[in-house]
Structure 1
């Protein structure tokens, strides 16, 4: 029986770790989690914030996830929107589609879709 989930994995291209750190740690304020040595040799990086865990794994050939995506719950959607647009990331608002949820979508530096929402 499923009681929760441990993490979501999203693909990044080889060598994308520094750009991932600037986006996920720098803009989204997630903290980087050290990968176990046996997995670190494969590249990629892991991040966490609250109960959310995100694994970024190297995939070649790389293709961004444009429909499938993680959805992160945030405590100040408007402030995060300003941070992302200020850093040049397009944000598409989809407020009103889910009752009681304000949200928008953006893309990480690799074109992977990311949803951010506030209840």
Structure 2
């Protein structure tokens, strides 16, 4: 027995990315706990949460709306990564790896959104 969203590769990838970002944000300075740390964690968690919410008993337009929210959260996550890089909380190599994962996830989510319309 499982929920429909658990079978979605985009949900699985979003869950994995969320854990990576959570671990990464543990390295941020304590002064960021209520700012960038909180924001990056909420943004990344929101991606998987919106994918899941959109998959439960929704019409296609409703599902597409939640997938759109997931994309917006992904854009927010990328912006947080840029902030972390600029503030020198993460190295260029780590940024590039996570950026690439975000870009690939974005393309997968966009493809999924097109398929449900």
Q: Identify the TM-score tier after normalising by the shorter chain.
A: 0.3 to 0.5
Given the two structures, how large is their TM-score scaled by the length of structure 1?
0.34
Given the two structures, how large is their TM-score scaled by the length of structure 2?
0.35
Considering fraction of residues, name the structure with more helix.
Answer: 2
Considering fraction of residues, name the structure with more strand.
Answer: 1
